[in-house]
Structure 1
Amino acid sequence: MSATATANDKIQDRLLDSTGLSIDRLPMLHVIFDRMANVWLEGIRHLATSPAYCSLTMIEIGRISDILEMYESNAIAAVYQAPEWDSQVLVGLDRDFVFSMIEVLLGSDGAEPPIDEERGFSNIERRVSDLIFRHLSKAMRTAFKQVTNVHFRHERTETRMDFAVIGRRTSRAVVAKFLVQTLNRGGEIFVIIPQSALTPMRQNLMRVISNEPTVRDPRWSKQIKSEVQRAEVTLTAVLEKRYLTLEEIASLEVGQTIRLQASPKSLVTLESDDQPLFKCFLGKSDGAYSLRLEEAIDNKKDIIEDLLSK
């Protein structure tokens, strides 16, 4: 590296330090990282046998070397390339988090005491960590869509923090820390983003982008309502349902009579798309069968009653 390049780097660092980001003036970062935690939880919900809780505990600015030093020999980290930012991002999991997620994903109920030993990560623990990293990178991309469209391309996974280089170690970075709780124990996720990557987005990060819907156009709403109300719906009146085995169905013959338990006084169920809507009485009007609506069906209540009766 030439002396000129080194001098330019030092000048850039000083400029960023002197006019650097202030977390208090970037409220959108809290919104983004909160959303990241929620999206990640939704993504792993179907994988975990026990519920997990994730909350943002801290966002601060520090030098990359100082941040990584706190996790030396106690974490595993993934380095991502963010091409749109022309920068790298680091996502890390501390040892307690990795051990807790191993138990959750493998069906533990938390009865066994937590693992408490100083050793390297096993192949299984590294593979589970890679799975978590994939979900975290997707959640981070989704969260940042509120201010910018960015992709996070996995480059490598490191277990030694002195190899987890995402820029000059003296450079300043934003670190977000998340507390994850499951099986009555906890762990930590941390995300490190160089300050230089966020500086171009400073204006977008300074204002909170509301998730509230915009004001609706009353004419458009009226038109939508009119079109929906004109949609055709097929109704089916069900007097009784019979359940037959495949053998019974195969033995049916033309002319055979299937007896029903229902009578003319039995209530008829009015359905649409297999969804029960009303209970009705069967009658006749002008020589045709007719239905008189008796009561609306509380679908949630009736489903529970049907399950209890089986």
Structure 2
Amino acid sequence: MMMDGIDVEQQKRLPNYLLDAAGISIDRMPMLNVIFDRMAASCTDSLQPMAGTPCYFSVNGISNGRVGDIVKDYEGNAVAAVLYAEQWDTRVLIVLDRDFVFTMVEALFGSDGAEPPIDVERSFSNIELRVVQALFERFAKSLQSAFAATSDVTFRLERVETAMASLAIGRSSNMSICANIMLQALFRGGQMFLIIPHSALNPLRQKLAHVVVSDGRASDPNWRGQMESEVQRTEVSLSAVLDECVLSLGEVAQFKVGQVIELNATPRTLARLENNNQVLFWCQIGQLDGYYAMQVADPVDQKREFVDDILSR
């Protein structure tokens, strides 16, 4: 059926075509502000146990721009992550400027801010890039959590780049949303830029046009009590790891019955109590009623574990 040269199906799709051509208006997408605020809050909470000093993240503004124009001024002065969103079949960027990187590295390794900030034009060191990669993985999870109420999407870290010209997530002239998130720590700070192409957000226009907030009504105390009871009865598997050794595949293939494998551990060595590869406590090994037993000695220093994980990469 034709109406003035346009069939009915084309007329139904015409509003969407016009919206796509016009791009995304931030004022008409108030949920974007909520999402980026949630990401900033999640970043703050995620890094609080790792840093020896408070680190605060806050949204400094959201703008529209072309990908090439946004990143061109940071060549040689920033490091970026390319995240792949499988459900959107697109890629997004997280860019950290030099001040952000140096501030976070100092905060994570125990600086108190007494030393002046680094003011030397140099390439990022391997340690700094390892720290940045670990941060990008956490920021990707924070972004995923922030979008959870709007879109069931996961963000996977594809690569880390220091050359802005290598950030190919489409044509450099493609329009994108750019959220500027500020870091404040050690009496200084830095900037994070989150860049999401319009093509990824266009299908979410209707959801982004309405602010979704949590239900503020008081919860049912009976339901809450039952939920807590069920959660506390959940069974978890604990593993006690006394020591680990690294062997080649050839050495493992030559194992024989009765062979002794030496460990760098003594009866006084603390064992790691783990659940789902997450270290929970350091424990002393002993005996009780003829069985081996574990006595909790110390809680795990999450900050130390985070740093050790970075250095072991």
Q: Which has the larger radius of gyration?
A: 1
Q: Structure 1: any 5+ residue segments left out of the alignment?
A: 1-13, 229-310
Matched, 1:206 2:209: yes
* 1:190 equivalent among 180, 190, 193: 193
1:108/1:17 CA distance change after superposition, 3 Å: same
Residue pairs, 1:170-181, within 5 angstroms: 170-181=173-184
What SS is found at the alignment partner of 1:165? coil
- Aligned partner of 1:69 in structure 2 is 72
- TM-score by length of structure 1 reads 0.64
Post-superposition Cα deviations, 1:157-196, rounded to whole Å, max 9, x if no partner, equal 1001111111111100001011101000010111100000
What SS is found at the alignment partner of 1:80? strand
Deviation at 1:212, TM superposition (A): 2.6
**Alignment: residue pair count:** 211
Residue pairs, 1:217-232, within 5 angstroms: 221=220, 224=223
- TM-score by length of structure 2 reads 0.64
* 1:103 equivalent among 78, 103, 106: 106
1:15/1:211 CA distance change after superposition, 3 Å: same
Matched, 1:130 2:133: yes
Q: What amino acid is the match of 1:132?
A: L
CA contact (8 A) 1:37 1:55 kept: yes
1:123/1:227 CA distance change after superposition, 3 Å: closer
Deviation at 1:26, TM superposition (A): 0.4
Matched, 1:32 2:35: yes
Q: What amino acid is the match of 1:52?
A: C
* 1:147 equivalent among 146, 150, 155: 150
Partners in 1 of 2:89 and 2:48 — Cα distance? 33
1:224/1:132 CA distance change after superposition, 3 Å: closer
Q: What amino acid is the match of 1:184?
A: F
CA contact (8 A) 1:178 1:190 kept: yes
Partners in 2 of 1:211 and 1:70 — Cα distance? 39
CA contact (8 A) 1:17 1:172 kept: no
CA contact (8 A) 2:74 2:97 kept: yes
Post-superposition Cα deviations, 1:138-172, rounded to whole Å, max 9, x if no partner, equal 00000000101101111111001111111111100
- Paired-residue identity, %: 48
Residue pairs, 1:230-241, within 5 angstroms: none
Q: What amino acid is the match of 2:31?
A: M
CA contact (8 A) 1:62 1:172 kept: yes
- Aligned partner of 1:92 in structure 2 is 95
CA contact (8 A) 2:47 2:55 kept: no
Q: What amino acid is the match of 1:158?
A: E
Deviation at 1:15, TM superposition (A): 6.4
Residue pairs, 1:41-52, within 5 angstroms: 41-52=44-55
Deviation at 1:18, TM superposition (A): 3.3
Post-superposition Cα deviations, 1:45-99, rounded to whole Å, max 9, x if no partner, equal 1110000111000101111100011222111000011010110011111100100
CA contact (8 A) 2:113 2:187 kept: yes
Q: What amino acid is the match of 1:46?
A: P
Matched, 1:157 2:148: no
Deviation at 1:214, TM superposition (A): 5.7
Partners in 2 of 1:37 and 1:222 — Cα distance? 31
Q: CA RMSD, aligned part only?
A: 2.1
Partners in 1 of 2:213 and 2:30 — Cα distance? 12
1:24/1:225 CA distance change after superposition, 3 Å: closer
Partners in 2 of 1:214 and 1:136 — Cα distance? 30
CA contact (8 A) 2:79 2:96 kept: yes
